[in-house]
Amino acid sequence: MNERQIIFSPSSLLTIVTAVASIVLLWQLRGLLVLLMVAIVMASSIAPIVDWAERRRIPRWLSALVVYLLAILGLVGVFFLIGPTVLEQLQRLFRQLPIVSEKLVSLLDERLSPEDAAQLTDLVRQTLNFQALTRWTFQTSQELLLRSYSITRGIVGAVLSLILALFLSGYMVADSRTLVRRLVRLLPDPWDRRLYGQMGNVGNRMGTYIRGRLLVSIVLAIATSLGLRGLGLAEFSLGLGAIAGVTNLIPFLGPILGAIPALVVAIAQGGWTVLWVLLFYVVLQNLETYVLDPLLVGTAVGIHPLYQLLAVLGGVQVLGILGALIVPPWFAGVSVLVDNLYLKPKLKAERLAKSELSQAKTADAVGIDRP
């Protein structure tokens, strides 16, 4: 019986050892890699403004600094303007969960048979139990935040990481051309030139996505607050609008999560309020899908919605809340490279091969017909 011998050459062994060492090194540096991913997304979002300022002979570093300072000042101003009211309404909403639960129970007792009402009332009491809901919220938030902030040590580390990401993104924007040019030099020709030529498209798609997502969330937060105020939920309108704006940063899942608190409050009020609130969120969802997203986000993602949803779910699974925010724009950027460096050349080569085959068949047919 012949025995097969597997022989590794020194070069093969060196390649295997290098690959294993690289994987171990990347795993140890995963926190830094996530930080770089965040910084690149932030840099892509402000790059068009910096480019516009550069054309007017304003230094890139100065325009990046001004943009970030204005963004920080705007966030601080909004927080001091409506932040206390939003927090007060959210606290009031949580405090009223037992009252909401009892109102739902009484409503079920009035509308359903005793057997069905007994089962549903137990479910409502368990679902809207303040202590259980608070405990579940903290446990779930802790798990997601631990995944999101695995690169840090607590809240202070997260804040420091955010500041570091701001500095990194500012440096990337200020000297982006030099950084990209030196990075692609590591690749062999002609891939260095091809990749360098696509960096602008990648950054543009990532930046367009994140800017459009932010604008859509702001518009929906304002529309939700105004709409719920008009529907009789003025007591919680700002808080529910803030929830809708934050959750809409997450594609697909965000609108559903943002509608649940408003529907719970509307059900507790009874009457036709719940129907009007439900219709309002349905109209709002369609407005986002068919008007706001095409207008503000456009074709920034450029991939099938199912793949976008998988990107969101994968990001949540690996990086928590942070992954749901940064993985979709990265997925959009990578799709540019796949389209322009693989799919389009592949389709072009296939069309060229078919054309050459057709010409060859035509030439053969002409040659056969001739005497």
Q: What is the mean pLDDT of residues 157-165?
A: 74
> By the 8 A CB rule, do 124 and 268 touch?
no
Question: Residue 271 pLDDT > 60, yes or no?
Answer: yes
Q: What pLDDT was estimated at residue 176?
A: 79
Q: Is the pLDDT of residue 7 over 70?
A: no
Q: pLDDT for 33-77, tens place per residue?
A: 888 888 888 888 888 888 888 888 888 888 888 888 898 898 888
Q: What backbone phi and psi angles, to 5 degrees, belong to 174?
A: -65, -35
Cα 45 from Cα 211, distance rounded (Å): 6
Helix (H, G, I), strand (E, B) or coil at 185: coil
Residue with tokens 């409503």: 107
Q: Where does the chain have alpha helices with state H?
A: 10-28, 30-55, 60-95, 97-111, 114-127, 130-148, 154-174, 176-184, 191-230, 237-247, 253-269, 273-287, 305-319, 321-338, 344-369
CB under 8 Å to 30, separation ≥6 — which residues?
150, 151
Residue 273 pLDDT grade (very low, low, confident, very high; cuts 50, 70, 90): confident
172's tokens:
């990337």
Tell whether the model's pLDDT for residue 158 goes beyond 70.
Answer: no
End-to-end CA distance of the chain: 62
How much of the chain, in percent, has pLDDT values that exceed 90?
A: 1
Is residue 224 pLDDT above 70, yes or no? yes
* Residues 92-119, mean pLDDT to the nearest whole number: 64
Neighbours of 213 (CB within 10 A): 24
Instruction: Tell me the average pLDDT across 215-219.
Output: 88
Instruction: Select the more confidently predicted residue: 301 or 336.
Output: 336
Residue 34 confidence (pLDDT): 80
Burial (Cβ within 10 Å: 0-12, 13-18, ≥19) of residue 311: buried
Q: Average pLDDT in the 190-204 region?
A: 83
Confidence band (pLDDT; 50, 70, 90) for 151? very low
Q: Nearest 5°: CA angle at 364, between 363 and 368?
A: 120
Residue 133 has pLDDT above 60, yes or no: no
Planar angle of CA 124, 126, 132, nearest 5 degrees: 135
- Of 76-85, 145-154, 264-273, the poorest mean pLDDT is in 145-154
Lookup: tokens for 271: 């009457």
CA dist., res. 333 & res. 198, Å (int): 10
Give the list of residues 6+ apart from residue 3 with CB closer than 8 angstroms, or none.
Answer: none
Per-residue pLDDT, 5: 56
Place of tokens 């910084």: 39
Q: What is the pLDDT of residue 116?
A: 54
**What is the rounded CA–CA span in Å between residue 233 and residue 243?**
14
What are all long-range contacts of 284-287, with beta carbons under 8 Å and residues at least 24 apart? 284/220, 284/223, 284/224, 284/227, 284/255, 285/255, 287/223
Residue 134 binned pLDDT confidence (cut-offs 50, 70, 90): very low
**Residue 371 predicted with pLDDT over 50:** no
Highest mean pLDDT among 10-14, 70-74, 230-234: 70-74
Q: Of 33-37, 107-111, 204-208, 247-251, which range is least confident? A: 107-111
Whether the per-residue pLDDT at 191 is higher than 60: the answer is yes
The answer to whether the Cα torsion of 224, 225, 231, 236 is positive or negative is positive
Q: What is the pLDDT of residue 359?
A: 78
Q: Is the pLDDT of residue 28 over 80?
A: no
